[in-house]
Each structure stands twice: as structure tokens, then as C-alpha cells.
Amino acid sequence: MKIFLAQQNYHIGNFEANTKHIIGAIQEAKKAGAELAVFTELSVCGYPPRDFLEFEDFIQQCEASINQIKAHTSDIAVIVGAPARNPKAEGKDLFNAAWFLYQDEVKAIVHKTLLPTYDVFDEYRYFEPAFEWNVISFKGKKIALTICEDIWNLGDNPLYRICPMDQLMPQKPDIMINISASPFDYDHDEDRKEVVRLNCLKYNLPMFYCNAVGSQTEIVFDGGSLVCDAAGKIVKEMKYFGEDYCTIDSSQLTVDSLQLTGESSTSTVNRQSSTEIGQLSAVNGQPIMLEKDMRVKKIKDPHMIIPYLTAEHNIAQIYAALILGIKDYFSKMGFTKAILGSSGGIDSAVTLALACEALGAENVRAVLMPSHFSTSHSVDDAVALSKNLGNPYDIIPIKNVYDSFLDTLSPLFKDLPFGIAEENIQSRTRGNLLMAISNKFGYILLNTSNKSELATGYGTLYGDMAGGLSVLGDVYKMQVFALAEYINRDREIIPRNIISKPPSAELRPNQKDSDSLPEYAILDKVLFQYIERREGPKEIIALGIDAALVKRVLKLVNTNEYKRNQFCPIIRVSTKAFGVGRRMPIVGKYLG
């Protein structure tokens, strides 16, 4: 059977565009001689639709789109993802479903069994899990059709109590097809390939794995759809961070036996789960151990944390994800132009370079707003950067505005010493100017704060924390430095002085970030272990990091939740980003 995989970028709730895109791919599949075209999870409405699913009109439009697509299946079968109604009164009203369309009819509807409810996922809020499992017979073959999370319940400590493929195997399927919306993080592609491979080995079947691509606000989908034969060998790996299509004949993918030397395939995967699954990734030859269902990686050697975070493969993926995140946020929202504050520091420099690559340099406006605490080289560096990039820029000194604030406040401030209030007035002055230009000319303000700053509260609400989209909010400071080097891989775009000088907010004389925070190479180790790895203070101190420093940093993280709660959407590139995937109470005492 010739199967066509369509890895497409959808727009949540844009039924007309999504349906047209799907039908266009069906026509391409027909030209390629395919008998079955496969699309991704919830492709009709886009993923994740979230509370749109609570609107009857939204579900009706999903069904209308299915009817339109169905009319193009007289001579080709199609698998698309869309919600399906639950006819039973008990349970949720909807299923997350894969629709099998053929001969202008709905031939079968498969319901998702394993509904992820962790990190950015909240599927059990909306969907009922499947309660029956059946293969789909087509062209003399039996298809085991599953949806995303349904193939992830492997390993020694499975997250769910049931495995859909185990339910389907007694019906003797010939091939597995999985439609997915599996989000990007900077090493998830290796996990994903391993999961597909282990499913093929466990069930002795080939798999067609079709994953979503594109960015939906903060969540980036990187594609990387796969076709594996029954021996777990990757036959086709599709493009990352872009749309792609392929046609593969399933008859070329089967093998008669894996020669399991007397062991069942299930026992083999259990044995592999403690060896191969346990060591999917490595840094400089040191294995990174995986825990619960391959979602939490532990780095045992503390000296390997920063090399892991800044590894070239990870940085290259982060770069591509951020470009796609910016591009799709603007295009899907109907925006065309961006603005940001360019300070001559590395965060704004990297943000500006990324935005110019994503949107075109002519569409990104940099505003330099020096104060009397700004060094001359900061302005020079920022100007040099914009000249290298070719983007428009303006220089607006803030001294007069800042002085007017102080004059206005002097009856209240009296002779109190200079402090954080005066520092933050500078930052909020800049935020006001940027938002005024944004309102006047229709720009979207890009925020330049990094994850290390957001974690510790090293930012000013309504000042440098202002913005419509956070580009670097899930990127640690050490990764920002690595991104700058990556951007300069072919030529110097970001001036060397921006990368080499000590980071500073320049809100008081001779200020350095290190006056308020630990050195970033140490800080990022602590933050990574606490935020991504959910390690407690005892475990982090056991890595050889000073106990007082660890306790201070964790207190900063927890007591600054109120700031992050008011922050703009953050493009997610890690396993645990601030925002929808990390839900912490604002008022709490834990480690505070």
C-alpha cells in the first residue's frame, strides 16, 4: 500500500485555510499514486484548540470541514484528526479522534486512549479516553491506528495503566500509523525516534508516524515525521521546522521475524527499556539518564550541565524553533512589523538578530534609549549591530524623561537615597516609549528577557518585562551566549564586544548583573536542576554547589512567581518553560 504522509502547518480555528490545505495535499497524494493520505492530530482544527472545544459552533465547524474533506476521498483513503462526539452521557462530551475517510464516507473513527495531562497538555479537561480498540481493514491490510501519546507508554515505569497497541495486537495488524502533535523541545527529537523504534521492535510491525509542524503561540511543533520498518530502522525522516510530504510503499517495510531467540517481543522491549531507553542521550560521552516515560532527563555529573545546555545540536534546534515561533506568531496573528529595545547587550542583540531572520530586517525596528548610566560603547555596539543586520533604528535618549519623573516624585521621595525605584523608572520609561511607538505605528513589541532573569525576578514589571511575545524567555543566559556564537557562525553579525563584555542592566554607575546574581555559569546549573529537573535543594547542593547560594536562588525563583504570572507568552524550547506548562501558586511558602 502506498501511503502519503502530510506534515503540515495549521492555524487553530482557521477552518477554511486548514481544510483547503488538507484538500490540496490530498490532490498531491493522488498525483503521487498514493492509496492512503495521512494527516496529523487534530489537523482539521489545529492543536491545541483548548477551550474552543467548549463551543458548539467550533465542533460544528470541525464536522463541516470533515464533510468537505470527505468529498475528495472517492479514490483515496484519508486519515485526518478532529474532535468526535461522545454518544454516551457518561464522561466528557468529546473524543480526540482520527477519522478514516474513504469513498466519500466516514469508514471508521479511532479515539485516543492516552490523554496527556502534564506540562503544556491538558487533554483530559476536554476529552474522554477510548474504551474500545479495533484495527481498520483497508486494501487487504489491517491498520493499527493510534494518536500521539498512545505509543509513548513504554519503559519500566509507564505513565498509564493501559497500552493501546497491546489491545490491538490480538487482531493481527499489518502496519501501525500514528498521527501526532508532539511539541518541540531541544532534545525531544531523539526521544521521539526512539519511541517509534521501540514500538516497531516490540510489535514487529512497521510504523508511519506523522507529526505536526508550526508554532501555536508558545508551543512549537518541529515535524520530523518518520517511517520505520519492522526492525526499527528509519526508512524516511522528514524535514524539521518546515512542511514536508512523502510517499512510501508499506510492502517494503515488513520483516518476517526479528529472531528474538526465544524471547517474546514484549520481554525484549522491557529489557531494552532499562538499557537503551535509560541512556538515549549523552554529552561528551557521558550518558544522560532518563526517568518516567522518557520525559525527565537527569545529568549526574554537574560539570556536564552547561555543556548539555549549550551543545551545538541543541542550540541549532533552539535557533530554528525560535525563528519558526516568531514567524508563525506574526503571520497567524496578522502582524508584520516588530519593535524592540536595543541596549547593546547580548539579550537584545540575539533577539534582534532572530527577529530580522524571521521577519526580514526591514520589518524590525530597534530603538536605542541610552540614559546617563549607559556607556558610550553600548550605543556604539547597538548601532553596529543594526548596521550589520540592515534593520532601521532610532536613538532616543531618556535623560529628560527620567529627570521629569524624578522632579515630579521629589515631594514624595524627598532626600531618600538612590535605589531600585530610580533604577526601575529608567526601565519603565523605556517600556513607555516602546509601547508608544508600537501603538502609533502598529508594531508588536518583542521582549528580550532571558530565562535566567525571569527565573530570579531580575527584571522590571511594565518596563523591560513589557512585550507581546517573549523570544528568549525559555533560553538560559549561557544558552543566549551560545546562540550569539551560532548566529555568528558564518560571519560576525553580533559585534564581538557585545558577546565578550560583562552583562549589565546599566541602571546605576558601573552596574554588573553579577552584583545581584551569581555568575550565570553557576546560576543556570541551579535553575536547570530546579526548573527542568524538579530537584530539591538537597539534591542540588549534593552536586557540589554552595548551599547558601542554592537556597538563595530557589527563594528568588519562588518569590517572583507574581512577576512571571503577568508576563507575555514565551516561545517554548525546553522541557519545562515558564507559562502554560508550569503552574505554580503565587502565594506560597515552599522554599520562599
Query: Looking at the structure, do residues 200 and 95 belong to the same domain, yes or no?
Result: yes
- The better pLDDT of the pair 472, 290 is held by 472
pLDDT averaged over the chain? 91
pLDDT higher than threshold 90 for residue 250: yes
Whether pLDDT at 107 is above 70 = yes
Do residues 401 and 260 share a domain?
no
Q: What pLDDT sits at residue 378?
A: 87
In Å, what is the CA distance from 408 to each residue of 280, 370, 425?
60, 21, 12
358 Cβ contact list (under 8 Å, min separation 6) = 322, 323, 324, 326, 327, 330
In a domain? residue 326: yes
Q: Are 188 and 332 part of one and the same domain? A: no
CATH code where residue 139 lies? 3.60.110.10
pLDDT at position 268: 33
Residue 528 has pLDDT above 90, yes or no: yes
- Bridge partner list, 77: 36
Domain membership flag for residue 356: yes
How high is the pLDDT of residue 255?
52
- Together in a domain, 244 and 321: no
Do residue 266 and residue 344 come from a single domain? no
Confidence bin at 263 (pLDDT 50/70/90): very low
Is 93 contained in some domain? Answer: yes
Judge whether 200 counts as a catalytic residue. no
Q: Which residues contact 417 (CB under 8 A, 6 or more apart)?
A: none
Domain count, the chain: 2
Which residue type is seen at 392? Answer: P
Q: Give residue 107's domain range.
A: 2-275
pLDDT at 296 over 90: no
> Has residue 112 been placed in a domain?
yes
Residues 115, 182 share a domain: yes
Q: Report percent pLDDT > 70 for the chain.
A: 92
What pLDDT does residue 281 have?
Answer: 43
CB distance 211 to 40 below 8 Å: yes
- pLDDT at residue 297, as a whole number: 59
Catalytic, 128? Answer: no
397 and 263 within one domain: no
340 and 247 in a common domain: no
Rounded mean pLDDT, 396-411: 96
CA distance 119 to 321: 18
Q: What is the DSSP string of 283-352?
A: ETTEEEEE-GGG--EE-S-GGGHHHHHT-HHHHHHHHHHHHHHHHHHHHHHT---EEEE--SSHHHHHHH
Q: Quick one: 323 and 267 in the same domain?
A: no
41 is catalytic: yes
16: confidence class by pLDDT, cuts 50, 70, 90: very high
3-state secondary structure of 189: helix
Among 148, 210, 228, 356, which one carries the catalytic annotation? 148
Q: Could you tell me if residue 558 is inside a domain?
A: no
Q: How much is the pLDDT for 512?
A: 78
* Final residue belonging to a domain, choices 520, 546, 581: 520
The mean per-residue pLDDT over the stretch 296-304 comes to 73
Share of the chain above pLDDT 90, in %: 84
pLDDT at 551 (0 to 100)? 96
Are 262 and 402 in the same domain? no
Tell me which of 75 and 291 has the higher pLDDT.
75
Catalytic, out of 35, 41, 149, 357: 41
In the structure, what pLDDT confidence band is assigned to residue 170 with cuts at 50, 70 and 90?
A: very high
Choosing from 70, 112, 193, 202, the catalytic residue is 112
Higher-confidence position of 148 and 265: 148
**In the predicted structure, residue 30 carries a pLDDT above the cut 70:** yes
Amino acid found at 425:
I
Residue 564 lies in a domain: no
Q: Kindly state whether residues 221 and 348 are assigned to the same domain.
A: no
Whether residue 288 lies inside any domain: the answer is no
**Mean pLDDT over residues 489-518, rounded?**
86
pLDDT band at 335 (very low <50, low <70, confident <90, very high): very high
Pick from 469, 493, 520: which residue ends a domain? 520
Q: Which of 490, 520, 550 is the last residue of a domain?
A: 520
The yes-or-no verdict on residue 260 having pLDDT over 50 is no
Judge whether 49 lies within some domain: yes
CATH number at residue 410: 3.40.50.620
d(CA 38, CA 26): 9
pTM to 2 decimals? Answer: 0.92
Looking at the predicted structure, is the pLDDT value of residue 269 above 60? no
Residues 343 and 474 in one domain: yes
420/280: higher pLDDT: 420
